[in-house]
Each structure stands twice: as C-alpha cells, then as structure tokens.
Structure 1
Amino acid sequence: MAENKDKKVLNVPNLRFSEFEGEGEESTIEKQFELYSGNTPSRINKELFNGTINWISSGELKEHYIYSTKERISQEAANNLKLLSVGTFVIAIYGLEAEGVRGTGSITQEPSTISQACMAFTPKGEITNEFLYSWYKKHGHVIGVKYAQGTKQQNLSYDILEKFKISYPNVKEQDKLNLFFSLIDKRISTQNKIIEKLETLIKGIAQNIVRYNKPNVRLSDCLSCSSSTLQESDVSEHGTYPVYGANGVVGYLDNYNTENEAIYIIKDGSGVGSTSYVTGKCSATGTLNILRAKEGYSLQYLYYILKVFNFEPYKTGMAIPHIYFKDYGKAKIFCPSYSKQLQYAKLLSAIDNELSAEQKFLTVLILLKQYLLRQMFI
C-alpha cells in the first residue's frame, strides 16, 4: 500500500492501494444520489403486515448486508411505498440520540421497502453504494452527533444529508476498496456467529440442567445477599480497584467492598436480573446486590443457573422494575452434589473463557476496520 501521511497530494487518503495514483474527485450527496425515506403502513389493518415483501425498520441496519426483515408487508401496503432494488444503501435517520443507532446502515440483498425512520440512497453519479457504505461507516457517527436535530429524539433529514461533501476515487479503485472492506465485514460477521454459538451453548447447557432435574433447594439456602450504598458519583477515573455498576466498570476506588468471588446482580432498572461473576478485590454500586455462596455450594455453578433463571414473577414496580432477594430467594433450583457442581462450573467456565477470547478478537477486528476506514477514506 502507498502512504500519503504528509498530505503532499490533495484529495488523496493517507493510505491507498499502490497501483492507484492521482487525486480523487469531490462532489455532494445530492449530486451523486437520489434520497428516499419510506413510511409505516397502518397497523390497524393487520393484513398489511401479513405479506412477503421486506419492510426495513431502523433497528435492523446492523450488518453490512440485510436479507430478510422481521416484518414483511403485503402488496397492498407496498403499493404506497417505493420498492428498493437489490444493492440499495439504507441508513437509520431517527433516534440517533441512542449510541447503537448512530452510523448504522446496510445494503439490501432483496427488493425492500423502508420505514420513515430510514433513508435510502440510489446512485445517479459515479459513486457506488458499496463505497458510500464504507464512507458512511467512517463519518456516520460524527454526522449523527453533530448534525442530527430534535430535542428528545435526534433525527437526520434529506435537507441535512444532501449537503455533505464526499471525496471519491475512480470506479476501479472504488471496486477494490469495496472488495477489501467487504472481506473484512465477512470476517466480522463470521466472528459474530462464533460468539453467538458459544453464547447459545452456555445457555443451552444451563437450561438443560434446569429442565431435566427437579428443583431441590431454595436460592436463599445457597446464597447470601448484601447491598451497597456506593453511588457512581463517589467513584474516580483512577484508582486501585474497579467499581462495577449496571453497565460494567464505572470507575475506580482505592478501597473495595468485595473480595475473592461474588455474583453482582442488577436489582432495579431496565437490566434487572442481569448477573455478572467477579473475582478479586472490587466494589459494586447501589444498583447491584452482592451474592455469595454458602458453604457446600459452588458460586460459579449458581452464577450459570441464575443466568437462565426466570426473574419475571419476582419483578415489582411499574415504571422502574425491582427484584428483591427476599422474594426470589424463596424459589427452588436444582443443586447436585458439590463435586458435580464443580464439574458443571468447570465445563461452563471453560466455554466462557473461549467466549471471552473470541469477543476480544472481535474487538480487534472492529478496531482494525475503523483504523483502515480512517486511513483509506477522506
């Protein structure tokens, strides 16, 4: 690959394939693409959503390519929408205040319609949709942060998107870039599938333990529960020991309220009932309860059982759901002999370790792609 780190040539990326040279072109989204936003058929008529035609919602634009959609509409519903051809680039334009929505987009692999929360791009110039996909993967997050409008809900519109300038090389160089990044995306997609299979395996083993054995002991007989008064505002960016909140590590302290091993369980909020297994010296914030194993019980085994435990009957509260150990602690689970618990825990933790390694490799792939996008696109 050739480098242009010193910007000696204008309108050329920092890194490009060595067989290409010369400056690229600059245009606008408006000149290069036709933009279209869809609509939502009336849900009063249920037959409109009982069909075979793809209808894309903004939450489905996670992968490079989108094939089938969660909802399919009838021909009657599609008559009031534009049917997008295969290869159309579609982005999410509503709800960009949410971290996981900004910068998302996919290329259709089936003729599709879209909701009003999406924007479709049809080429009418020299830029391919595959090139636009990668360009948007580089710039989409910043576009969402800086240019989306609205108070509670941050949205993009045609008027905003059409004005963006885009630099691009000739079609031959675009095609090579498109192939290169599609191969990276395929590897990322494969890695996601590996992770999903490992997660499914762990869940399946734990569910089978529960399904094929009769509950024989109350949770309160296996576990003790304590709470924390620590608030996120009490923690620092730097310190000796990590502090966990509902979304993982939220900061650090020079002291701790947990050592050895514990299960942290979210006791209120949207993630209520979610568990994490921790070891060593650390702390939990007040949104978590701290569970420890009583004598004769394996905490790791209990952790995997709790991951498939149904907390729904024990949730209280309308706006903000809560769970209390005094309630779900009365529920019975299956606990075999201590030696058997250790065997199950060893098996499941081995798979979990493999899962962690695969997740770390996925992070490496994503960071590599982000770096290459920054270097190979203007």
Structure 2
Amino acid sequence: MPKQEKNIPALRFPEFKGEWVKHTFESLYRCVPTNSFSRNDLQEEPSEISNIHYGDIHTAYNSKFRFSSERVPFVINDKLDKLRNYTRVKKGDLIFADASEDVDDIGKMIEVVELGNAQLVSGLHTIHATPKKANSMASGFSADLFKTTKVRQQIIKESQGAKILGLSAKRLAKTSLIIPGYKEQQKIAAFLSAIDDKIAQIQKKKGLLEGYKKGCMQKLFSQEIRFSDDKGDAFPNWEVKKLKNLTSVITKGTTPTSVGYNFTDKGVNFIKAESLDSTYKIIEDKIAYISLECHESLKRSQIFEGDLLFSIAGTLGRSAIAKKQYLPANINQAISVIRLKDITTAEYINHFLNSFLIRKKIKQILSVGAQPNLSLDQVGDFKIQYPCLDEQRKIADFLTAIDEKIALVSEELEKAKAFKKGLLQQMFV
C-alpha cells in the first residue's frame, strides 16, 4: 500500500506536485532587536526614520504592508541618534505585535511587501524577523501563512499572561511552518493578493458610501439643504424640542445578577451596549439571554416594538430601533430605552441621535464629567431639530436608503472575506 502524503493542501494549482516541507520559524527567520519608543517619542511630521508601533499593527496596518499606502509615524529628532545600531526593516521582513489584551490579536503580524527608500525601524512591543536566506519566501506569502488556523493556534498556545498576553521571540521561534517551494509560494501569493485587491475595492466603496451619508447628514440636520413637499412647496420651519418632551418613557435596565438572577443559554433576549453596532443594528451573536421569570421581574426595562435603544455607557451614542423579531427583550444599565409618544417619528429620531449635533453634545458632557457615561436626564435634555412629520419621513427614507446600500456592500464585503478565509484553510497545510 503506497504511503499517504500528508503535507499536501486540499486545494492546489495543478502544475505543482509533492509534499510541502516542514520548517521551524527559527530555521527561516532570525529575530533582531527592536526599540522601545512610546507614542510620545513619535510624531506625524516627517523625520529621517519611521517607526512601527505595535498598536498600529493591531488597528491600522494591512497585513501586506506597503509603506506608501500606510500612515506610519516618524521618530522625533531628539531620539534619532539612539537608533544608530538598530537594524532597519527591509522588504520581506515580518513584524509581530508581541502584546495584546485580546487572544485573537496576540502575534498579529505584517509582512513588508513594499518599502521604497523609507528608513523604517520596529518599535515597542514588536518582534522584528528577517529572512535568513534571500528568495526563500515569496513576497506576500507569509502574510497569509500566519493567518491560517494551524499557525494561529500555535502562536496563541505559546502566548503567556493573564490580563495582558505576551509572545516572546524565543517561543515564536519554535512555530512549525509547512511551506511549498518558492514558485508555488509565488503563485499562491499572487492569487490571494488579487482577492485582497477585490476586498480593498469593496472596502473603499463602503467607505465612500459612509462618507457620502455623513456629508448628507451634516447638510440635512444643519438645514443647509431641505426637502420640498410633494407639490414642490417648502415645508414649515423646524422646531427645537427636548427629547424628553417627545417621549413617554426614558429609562434604563439593570444587570440580572444584581437582583438574584443569572444569564441563561437561551430564553429572553438581553441587549447590552456591545449588542449595538455603528450602523443602527442589533448584533444577534452579541445578545445574551435571561429567563422569562427574570424578564418579568425587570418590568421597567422591558422593550416594546418601536422603542429606541441608546447606549449610555461603554461605547456611547449607538442606537437601534427595537424590531418585532427581537422581542421579548430586556436591557442592562448601559442602555437607555427611549419610548416615543409618536412611534412614526422613530426612524427620524434614530437618525438624528447619530448626527454630528448629538455627538458634539456628548463630547461636551464628557468634557465636564468625571465618568464616561450619560445620565438619563442628560439624554432627555438632548435638543432635537424637529421638522414636520412629512419632512421627517423624507429625511428618514433618504438616509435609510443609503443605509440599505451600505448594508448590501457590507454583506458583499463579509462574503469576500469569508471566501478568502475558506481559501486560506484549503490552500495551506
């Protein structure tokens, strides 16, 4: 019986045969010292040397790092002399974030695929790895290799710490990497980079739509532009009303454990601040559950169809309209429920609560307060620019139509990302 070949991907270009070869990270890369400059040692103004900060690996940079496409801070002039003996980053180098509060982000990395003539160093809480042999790793291949489940699991296993996870170069060195020959690497990297380009195009489209909506909201709510009625005539002048004068209830919830109940695996939906996203939607997989008994005991914070949910702690100012499919439901203390006297105004008020005027008000409140949260009285005192109902509907319909376009592009983006993720699991060993 022939020996079964194990190190062969499930999905492969037909011109390549044979098993991939197993290596350790330290056999392919050597790690070099990095500096420990904090954000205070960096600046936006250009200087001789740029610096990779681990926080930007977590939040800003593409895994296939192109210097010309990224905003990389510069080292302040007073610190440049201290970098004389530090190895400069080269094309093909890998830079890992060696600290994270989130297990999913520990060891997150970038591969430098384009650098130009930039002088670049690797900074605080990073591991800088450079290939031991020239042309041993095809450009862009490692950026995808280190996203695969098998490699990520190894890195997570090697991380240490309780609140803050850490990854050392010594532990990273033992990571097992199964890779093909250079030409097959090139073919895989080129194929996946084409998909990355498609994802980037969709992301750009989404960003343009979001920017368009933001501009429209500013012009609409500042009354720089106005709708006309169906006859082409001007609508009446707007009023300014406090939110509390438009509502029958503004209240908030509580944590079930504070009143003797526990969360459950299923039951009544329990919505928290993290259950609301930035697009006025409830995130279904971030809804918790409580028992019906608990729900009935928390009568004050029971949700009804058409209620507005508005976050007052944590990530402030996110909102959503309670739809029928989420009921029955309850909320915690980080969410205020706003029950309008006229439910037909809900769509308009929801959009207005996400306007620059409310964001500006929240910033004013936070600038004089000790705690990063909002009281119910402060929410009730929000001043609402209040057109007649017909103009409200036109504004709400217009902005909702843009939201629907953004949602379609977001769905397209998620599908493209899922497609890429599936390929990563099939095209690597």
Aligned-pair CA distance for 1:78:
4.2
**2:105 aligns to what?**
101
Aligned-pair CA distance for 1:42:
6.7
Aligned-pair CA distance for 1:154:
0.8
Matched residue type, 1:262: D
**1:69 aligns to what?**
71
Deviations 1:332-362 (A, max 9, x none): 2312111111111111111112222222222
Give the direction of change, closer, same or farther, for the CA distance of 1:178–1:215 in structure 2 (3 Å limit): farther
Give the direction of change, closer, same or farther, for the CA distance of 1:290–1:40 in structure 2 (3 Å limit): same
Higher mean alpha-carbon deviation, 204-213 vs 358-367, is at 204-213
d(CA) in 2 for partners of 1:229, 1:253: 12
> Please, which of 227, 241, 244 is the counterpart of residue 252 of structure 2?
227
1:17 aligns with 2:68: no
Matched residue type, 2:416: L
Deviations 1:268-304 (A, max 9, x none): 2x31322233311242321211113222861111111
**2:349 aligns to what?**
302
**1:154 aligns to what?**
165
Aligned-pair CA distance for 1:29:
0.9
**1:91 aligns to what?**
96
Give the direction of change, closer, same or farther, for the CA distance of 1:133–1:42 in structure 2 (3 Å limit): closer
1:188 aligns with 2:199: yes
Give the direction of change, closer, same or farther, for the CA distance of 1:45–1:246 in structure 2 (3 Å limit): closer
Q: Unaligned stretches of 5+ in structure 1?
A: 1-6
> Please, which of 256, 270, 273 is the counterpart of residue 243 of structure 1?
270
- Mapped contact 1:210–1:333 kept (Cα < 8 A): no
d(CA) in 2 for partners of 1:342, 1:234: 41
Give the direction of change, closer, same or farther, for the CA distance of 1:46–1:142 in structure 2 (3 Å limit): closer
Give the direction of change, closer, same or farther, for the CA distance of 1:331–1:245 in structure 2 (3 Å limit): closer
- Mapped contact 1:314–1:324 kept (Cα < 8 A): no
- Mapped contact 1:243–1:253 kept (Cα < 8 A): yes
Aligned-pair CA distance for 1:209:
2.7
- Mapped contact 1:230–1:284 kept (Cα < 8 A): no
Matched residue type, 2:111: I
> Please, which of 54, 58, 79 is the counterpart of residue 58 of structure 1?
54
1:259 aligns with 2:304: yes
1:164 aligns with 2:175: yes
- Mapped contact 2:250–2:336 kept (Cα < 8 A): yes
Percent identical:
22
Higher mean alpha-carbon deviation, 173-182 vs 8-17, is at 8-17
Higher mean alpha-carbon deviation, 247-256 vs 361-370, is at 247-256
d(CA) in 2 for partners of 1:43, 1:103: 20
d(CA) in 2 for partners of 1:87, 1:348: 45
Query: Match of 1:23, SS?
Result: coil
Query: Match of 1:12, SS?
Result: coil
d(CA) in 2 for partners of 1:218, 1:275: 18
d(CA) in 1 for partners of 2:411, 2:128: 33
Give the direction of change, closer, same or farther, for the CA distance of 1:152–1:45 in structure 2 (3 Å limit): closer
**1:275 aligns to what?**
319
Q: What TM-score do the two structures reach when normalised by structure 1?
A: 0.86
1:216 aligns with 2:227: no
- Mapped contact 2:242–2:383 kept (Cα < 8 A): yes
d(CA) in 2 for partners of 1:229, 1:43: 38
- Mapped contact 1:34–1:123 kept (Cα < 8 A): yes
**2:228 aligns to what?**
none
Aligned-pair CA distance for 1:174:
0.6
**2:126 aligns to what?**
118
Aligned-pair CA distance for 1:46:
7.3
Give the direction of change, closer, same or farther, for the CA distance of 1:159–1:49 in structure 2 (3 Å limit): farther
Query: Match of 1:298, SS?
Result: helix
Aligned-pair CA distance for 1:129:
5.0
Matched residue type, 1:71: P
**1:3 aligns to what?**
none
- Mapped contact 1:267–1:288 kept (Cα < 8 A): yes
**2:280 aligns to what?**
none
Matched residue type, 1:27: H
d(CA) in 2 for partners of 1:49, 1:322: 34
**1:204 aligns to what?**
215
